[in-house]
Amino acid sequence: MSSPAQHNSAESDEATAALDDYLSRLQRGETISREELLARWPQLAGALDCLDALESLAAFPVKQTPLTSSGIGDATTVYRDGAEDEPRPAAHGELPEEFGDYQLLNELGRGGMGVVYRARQKSLDRIVALKVVLGNRLASDDSVRRFQVEAKVAAGLHHPNVVRVFEAGQAVGLSYLAMEFVEGSSLDRLAAQGPMDAETAARCVATVARAVDHLHREGVVHRDLKPSNILIDEAGRPYVTDFGLAKMFADETQLTQTGDRLGTASYMAPEQAAGRTGEVGPLSDVYSLGAILYELLTGRPPFQGENVLDILVQVVERDPEPARSVNPHVPRDLALICQKCLEKSPRERYPSAAALADDLQRYLTGEQIEARPAGLIGRTLRWIRREPALSSRLIALAGFSCVELFAYHVLRSVPWWPHHVVMLTVAALWAAASIALAMAIKHGRRPWTWRFAWAGVDALLLLAAVMSGDGAGSGLIVVYPLLIVASGLWFRVRLVWFTTVMSVASYIVLALDFHLRRTDLTAKYAFGYDRHLACVLALVVLGAVVAYQVRRVRALSHYYQQRQLP
């Protein structure tokens, strides 16, 4: 027999479901009877009154300001650091100057869910940061829920380095949070000035890590830690803010579903970037703290790309460039701490944010840190993940050279001249060209020009290797389809088509050489023109399929970039 508390809980869940259905049907344009809903669920009267108030505010024009690359969290990045960055006044007509107990003074930031204002709380005569959700009954359900999560999470947190929430409520039909106003700047502004002093960076991240550990002990995972969500007051003290994406991991209810990616790509843990929501936990925040430390020490985030997709792929598949390779002045111990935080597997990171803070404290006091450098195998695996294009070519060329040496020295199946010498020479030139082009892509001014050059070099050197053997009859022609498929990993349609054209042109050269010059091969292999035509068509179709898939993936990336869900 159920208890009264269980009965009330079940009834509340049913009422919530009824309200959700009501809103969904309104969004589809259906005409719904308000009276029928209230007759069955009279406790929803207050919620419906709030919806009516929100709808009435739809007449106010809301200025649509594009989100910046740092995403949803910008709406709560509250700072003021000089006349040139003075917050702009709120646009006329968006909200009344008098907002309940608050007088709106200036607009501080704008994001996906609403606007943050600098406001004066009239009853207590104090300056606060007022975060307001702008919208009507057609507003995004996720936006409202995230705001509710932020209010619930932040209201229960009390730590000297976590931005305090004074009040959550409603005024003129809009939900708001009144938060502590931090006079100063944000950490992303400081990071934009270049690499930070090592001790200052370590001390800052250690303090933030202590605050994050407090969140974890309260059952909260932030999930969107980044420099713009860390405020720095005039005394240099950091404050963690913006809990719009936080998850209460002790709660059975989840705001997001499996596969959702929420956060900011450059600071997102691999399990979060891959959409493995069930694996996102406190150690994901440890990864983000390591990414913040990396940027403070090097002046750039661990991964950079032209779009969200490029960054997400790097986060999931690659290791970042060692901090000391980007900035040689980074102390070895801090580089090791960064490396441990940024491990792909959560089990290999620090076991908690407190453990990270402790190791940073050991560095600051000159003690031996717990982080240890990887062994030879570990360093090799890191390099392979960091340089997939170069490492895959070098590994393939090394394997090819071993097969060639085995065929000559053991099987005695190939002549020394010219086949054996030419093959090894081509392999050596290919390896040298790959290394040079990889360095040009990394350090050159026009990396995409060098990527096209690399694709051309691959096709031409493969042509030289094939022609030194059996030409169109050589088994090495299977490498051409592999080059086309591999070009798709750069996620550029034009590069795929360029590689396809180079591969087709190379095969046509091989076919002409086979029939017009290599009479010995014509007698050895009974190939007709239909075989060559089939190979060319297969290469073209493969290139079209790869280009189509790349175009689809890029369209998806553009969609997420527009929604600013990096």
Domain annotation covers residue 147:
no
**pLDDT value at residue 112:** 53
**pLDDT value at residue 170:** 80
Do 557 and 502 belong to one domain?
yes
Tokens describing residue 545: 């399929």
The letter for the amino acid at 373 is: P
Residues 6+ apart with CB under 8 A from 150: 177, 242, 243, 244, 246
Determine the distance from the C-alpha atom of residue 165 to the mean position of all C-alpha atoms in its chain, rounded to a whole number.
28
Q: What is the mean pLDDT of residues 172-199?
A: 89
DSSP state for residue 280 in the 8-state scheme: -
Do 209 and 333 belong to one domain?
yes
Highest mean pLDDT range out of 63-77, 107-121, 390-404, 548-562? 390-404
Range of the domain at 302: 185-380
Do 514 and 532 belong to one domain?
yes
Domain annotation covers residue 405:
yes
**pLDDT value at residue 431:** 95
Domain annotation covers residue 280:
yes
- pLDDT for 39-61, tens place per residue? 777 766 656 655 554 444 333 33
Do 411 and 507 belong to one domain?
yes
Do 457 and 512 belong to one domain?
yes
pLDDT band for 519, please (50, 70, 90 cuts): confident
pLDDT band for 246, please (50, 70, 90 cuts): low
Domain annotation covers residue 137:
no
Residue at a domain's end among 354, 380, 406: 380
Domain annotation covers residue 369:
yes
pLDDT at 423 over 80: yes
Residues 6+ apart with CB under 8 A from 18: 37, 40, 41, 44
Q: What is the mean pLDDT of residues 418-423?
A: 82
Do 205 and 348 belong to one domain?
yes
Domain annotation covers residue 215:
yes
pLDDT at 23 over 70: no
Determine the distance from the C-alpha atom of residue 81 to the mean position of all C-alpha atoms in its chain, rounded to a whole number.
28
Distance CA 521, CA 515 (A): 8
Tokens 């441990």, located at residue: 340
Structural domain count of the chain: 3
Do 241 and 362 belong to one domain?
yes
Do 311 and 196 belong to one domain?
yes
Pick the catalytic residue: 224, 333, 359, 470? 224
Do 328 and 452 belong to one domain?
no
- Considering only CA atoms, give the Rg of the chain: 30
Distance CA 228, CA 220 (A): 19
- pLDDT for 354-381, tens place per residue? 999 999 999 999 999 999 988 888 889 8
Looking at per-residue pLDDT, the higher value among 176 and 336 belongs to: 336
pLDDT at 85 over 60: no
> How many angstroms separate the Cα of 395 from the Cα of each of 109, 150, 432, 490?
50, 49, 13, 19
Residue at a domain's end among 348, 380, 412: 380
Looking at per-residue pLDDT, the higher value among 330 and 420 belongs to: 330
Instruction: Check: CB of residue 358 under 8 Å from CB of residue 367.
Output: no
| Strand partners of residue 165 | 179
Catalytic residue at 74?
A: no
Do 196 and 296 belong to one domain?
yes
pLDDT at 250 over 90: no
Left if phi > 0, otherwise alpha if psi is -120 to 50, otherwise beta: which for 504? alpha
CB atoms within 10 A of CB 403: 12
82 phi/psi in degrees, rounded to 5: 130, 165
Do 368 and 442 belong to one domain?
no
**pLDDT value at residue 197:** 94
DSSP 80-100: --SGGGPPPPPPTTTS-SEET
Do 341 and 488 belong to one domain?
no
Q: What is the mean pLDDT of residues 203-211?
A: 97
pLDDT band for 484, please (50, 70, 90 cuts): very high
Domain annotation covers residue 546:
yes
Average pLDDT, the chain: 80
Looking at per-residue pLDDT, the higher value among 105 and 141 belongs to: 105
Tokens describing residue 154: 């932040």
Residue at a domain's end among 380, 402, 434: 380
Looking at per-residue pLDDT, the higher value among 286 and 92 belongs to: 286
pTM for this entry = 0.71
pLDDT at 66 over 90: no
Residues 6+ apart with CB under 8 A from 312: 261, 265, 268, 273, 566
Instruction: Check: CB of residue 44 under 8 Å from CB of residue 207.
Output: no
Residue 437 CB burial class (10 angstroms; 0-12, 13-18, ≥19) = buried
Looking at per-residue pLDDT, the higher value among 48 and 532 belongs to: 532
Domain annotation covers residue 413:
yes
